[in-house]
């Protein structure tokens, strides 16, 4: 169990690094500035005195911390034999929901349905990059549990990633 948690966190951190590289490339192409929503969300969660102050260190802590935490779930999915592209697709929406729940619960964010479509597309694309990279790492690092669906005879009849 601890091995799955640790490897899931590692997969999440690696996925966050891949997502961050994608974000920086996208920002270079579009001119979109850095977002400090993660920093502000963390500050509100911690009850800091000046929660709306931009902080690069706090931004990275929340960015990578959330990625590591969400990686634990993707690691558990891999252990349960919920693997491959279909699992990563499901994980994309969980990753988006994690951010949106925290940001909206603290009053920092706004519901995605209120965003300009271009911002929503960019955010979902980055979360998909994170989830597919995290999934690739998790699936490589974590073997399916022997008591999972991996032992079902019908499993061999299905496409990889569709448990």
Q: 158 pLDDT band (50/70/90 cuts)?
A: low
CA–CA dist 67, 42 (Å, integer) = 14
What is the pLDDT, as a whole number, of residue 50? 83
67 pLDDT band, cuts 50/70/90, is very high
Kindly state the tokens that stand for 159. 């496409």
Within 13 A of 65's CA, how many CA atoms are on the CB side?
12
Please say if the pLDDT value at position 162 is more than 60.
no
pLDDT, tens digit, 9 for 90 and up, residues 31-54: 999 999 999 999 999 999 887 777
Using an 8 Å Cβ cutoff, are 15 and 67 in contact?
yes
């Amino acid at each position: 169990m601890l091995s799955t948690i640790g490897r899931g966190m590692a997969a999440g951190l690696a996925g966050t690094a891949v997502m961050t590289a994608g974000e920086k490339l996208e920002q270079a192409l579009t001119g979109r500035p850095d977002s400090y929503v993660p920093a502000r969300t963390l500050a509100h969660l911690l009850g800091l005195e000046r929660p709306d102050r931009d902080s690069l260190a706090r931004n990275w802590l929340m960015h990578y911390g959330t990625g590591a935490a969400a990686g634990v779930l993707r690691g558990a999915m891999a252990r349960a034999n919920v693997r491959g592209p279909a699992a990563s697709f499901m994980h994309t929406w969980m990753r988006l929901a994690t951010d949106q729940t925290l940001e909206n619960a603290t009053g920092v964010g706004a519901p995605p349905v209120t965003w300009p479509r271009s911002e929503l597309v960019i955010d979902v694309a980055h979360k998909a990059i994170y989830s597919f990279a995290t999934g690739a790492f998790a699936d490589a690092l974590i073997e399916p549990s022997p008591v999972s669906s991996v032992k079902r005879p019908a499993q061999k009849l299905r496409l990889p990633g569709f448990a």
